[in-house]
Amino acid sequence: MIKPFITRKHQEKLIEWFFFLNGIVVVAILAGIFMLLLMNAIPAFREVSIAHFLSKPIWNPDAYDQPTYGLLPMLVSSLMVTVGSLVVAIPLGIGTAAYLSDVASPRVREIAKPAVEILAGIPSVVVGFLGIVLVGPVISKLTGTYNGLNALNGSILLAVMALPTIISLSEDALTSVPRSYEEASLALGASRWQTVILVKIPAAASGILAACMLGMGRAIGETMTVLMATGNAAEFPHSFLGPVKTMTSTIAIELGEVAYYTTHFYMLFAVGLILFIITFIINLISDIIFHKHTRLQ
Amino acid sequence: MKKPKRLKITETLGFLTLRLCMACVAMILIVIFYDIITKGAGVISWDFLTKPPVDGMTKGGIFPAIVGTFFTTIITALLSVPLGMGCAIYLNEYAKDDGLTRFIRMSIRNLSGVPSIVYGLFGVALFVEACHFGTSILAAGSTLGLMTLPLTITASEEALKTVPRAYREGSLALGATKWQAIWTNVLPYAVPGMLTGTILGLSRAAGETAPILFTGAAFFLPDIPNSILSQFMALPYHLYIMSTQHHNIELVRPIAYGTALVLIVLIFSMNLMAIIIRYHLRKKGIAHG
């Protein structure tokens, strides 16, 4: 019998290697994003010191005499709209999740869960558009600001963007609480409300926390909604009714205008790198919390 | 018996609060759809869908934007579908439960959390500059392809998980190799489910704006693109332009509403297609086999 050039066994090994390489691609992409951001950010710090970047309270790359590249105004802006959005989205999201897991009838749940998915599917540019045409005028009328494009508007829109993540993951966490917890609580004479608040939500706390962290990651990295609805004034943010320019919108606006391979260009990659690191840390924390949660069960 | 009565009141009020939360979320959804449908529907006509913009984009249709989004989504699919399915096959069929596998899974979860504008920067550095694709359909589609990869992988793996172990074991017991078992007894049952997840991922990509801002989307092009290396107009980018960058924003507001409606209809018909595929699968009893 002639031995085939490639035996079955070798063929199997080759196929397995092929899929292994395919699996490794994901790691390579994540590392690649980090490396490319870093490589393009480093040249920026040949002309501007890292201390300048992290401490100057002004971002003014087009200044005639001495351009300044301070991260602080946009970092504070990003944090402002993110915190603002979470103030709305966390209670609303957890409330909705608790409703879906413990109050809603199966039929309502059957309709409401796809509805949450639909909300998640609305593109951010559409949400941003509605921020201009719907939310803006309302804010303008209520507060007397010019066009209602400010941090408050951005916060409201980001809450809408973060809600689906918070709702569906919190609901998963609540439904994965063992039934025996609930039954024990009810058997001891607690009302259903007490069971939800005092037993189920605490039992699902780590899952809910992970959901909120992920929602926060979504909010801080959101681009189009804040770009369209926050007014984008390059000044240090002072109130929720004033315009702000977040890290994401700064990149989105200025990368289109900047000459490539200038300090300003590299600086935008530095901002991107900071954004990448922030979201990476947030995701990592939520990952750790979430895994603790699943291991406990 | 005072206590139970107070309990009853707290319970009623508490559940009412939860109901209000749900009602609030439902209201958000209703307001979004009501506003866009009522103000956008009047703009939609055959000409709006099949003609390019004219007169400084104050009149005419959005045909080039529809075509541009279509082509870009195809490039996205060509990149993310094979890569995503391959990675899912590795994770579900070959990978051992060791540190490396956990590391890959962690990378996937982290990739899905990377902000879209960071993908845009990555696309500029890698595809536009380093690969010399220039600002083009190819560069933008590839950027979106990498962005949807985590979604495709997760969905494909879900589909693979629904194929019962017995299918693999039966095949292996008859002397098939591992790959033969996967090829003949796993993939045929998993591919439709993978398709569902993939379409959902692509619908997400079709609505994205930030990653294509600098990798190929153009303000205005009179003609449809003639190669994958040309720039293109895209529906989400067109909506952004029409609502913030146009020289006469008030005048073109109806066009913006029309674009928003077309974009939403496009995305939800893709979702609907995915749901229909899933429904047919469940009826055949495979998806939950």
pLDDT category, A4, cuts 50, 70, 90?
Answer: low
Q: Is B250 exposed, middle or buried (0-12, 13-18, 19+ CB in 10 A)?
A: exposed
Q: Which residues of B touch A229 (CB under 8 A)?
A: none
Domains of chain A, CATH where assigned = 54-296 (1.10.3720.10)
Give residue B169's identity as a one-letter amino acid code.
E
A231, β-bridge pairs: A244
CA A115 to chain B, closest CA, distance in angstroms equals 8
Q: Which residues of A touch B279 (CB under 8 A)?
A: none
Residue of chain B whose Cα is closest to the Cα of A265: B121
DSSP A2: P
- In angstroms, the CA B117 to CA B211 distance is 6
Task: Note whether B156 and B194 are within 8 A (CB).
Answer: yes
Share of chain A above pLDDT 90, in %: 67
Q: Is A12 close to B113, i.e. CB distance below 8 A? A: no
> Of the candidates A26, A196, A251, which has its C-beta nearest B104's C-beta?
A26
Residue of chain B whose Cα is closest to the Cα of A276: B114
**Which of B8, B18, B91 has the most A C-beta neighbours within 10 Å, making it the best mutation to test the interface with A?**
B18
Q: What is the mean pLDDT of chain A?
A: 90
pLDDT exceeds 80 at position B287: no
pLDDT exceeds 90 at position A114: no
Average pLDDT over residues A188-213: 92
Radius of gyration over every alpha carbon of chain A, rounded to an integer in angstroms: 24
B60-284 domain in CATH 1.10.3720.10? Answer: yes
Q: Is A220 close to B115, i.e. CB distance below 8 A? A: yes
Average pLDDT over residues A275-296: 85
Q: Which residues of A touch B7 (CB under 8 A)?
A: 191, 193-194
pLDDT exceeds 90 at position A5: no
Q: Is B25 close to A96, i.e. CB distance below 8 A? A: yes
Cα–Cα distances (Å) from A7 to A102, A294, B132, B179, in that order, read 58, 43, 41, 14
> Of the candidates B107, B120, B209, which has its C-beta nearest A27's C-beta?
B107
Q: Is A15 close to B179, i.e. CB distance below 8 A? A: yes
Highest mean pLDDT among A148-152, A156-160, B98-102, B248-252: A156-160
* Residue pairs between chains A and B whose CB atoms are closer than 8 Å: 254
Q: Is A22 close to B271, i.e. CB distance below 8 A? A: no
Q: Which residues of B touch A30 (CB under 8 A)?
A: 107, 110-111, 114
**Which of A7, A10, A16, A29 has the most B C-beta neighbours within 10 Å, making it the best mutation to test the interface with B?**
A29
For the stretch B164-178, pLDDT in tens is 989 999 999 998 888
pLDDT at residue B57 in the model: 81
Share of chain A above pLDDT 70, in %: 96
For the stretch B45-60, pLDDT in tens is 999 998 888 887 888 8
Cα–Cα distances (Å) from B30 to A119, A171, A183, A208, B27, in that order, read 10, 22, 36, 26, 5
pLDDT exceeds 70 at position A249: yes
> Of the candidates B17, B32, B114, which has its C-beta nearest A279's C-beta?
B114
pLDDT at residue B108 in the model: 93
Q: Is B35 close to A133, i.e. CB distance below 8 A? A: yes
Measured torsion, CA atoms of residues A160, B198, B226, B220, in degrees rounded to the nearest 10: 0
pLDDT category, B197, cuts 50, 70, 90?
Answer: confident
Q: Which residues contact B140 (CB under 8 A, 6 or more apart)?
A: B72, B75, B123, B211, B212, B215, B216, B217, B232, B234
pLDDT exceeds 50 at position B1: no
Q: What is the ipTM score, two decimals? A: 0.91
> Of the candidates A22, A126, A252, which has its C-beta nearest B90's C-beta?
A22
Q: Which residues contact A171 (CB under 8 A, 6 or more apart)?
A: A97, A100, A101, A113
Continuous segment of H or E residues that includes residue A223: none
Q: Is B256 close to A129, i.e. CB distance below 8 A? A: yes
**Which of A26, A169, A269 has the most B C-beta neighbours within 10 Å, making it the best mutation to test the interface with B?**
A26
Q: Is B115 close to A252, i.e. CB distance below 8 A? A: no
pLDDT exceeds 50 at position B186: yes
CA-nearest of B100, B198, B192 to B149 is B198
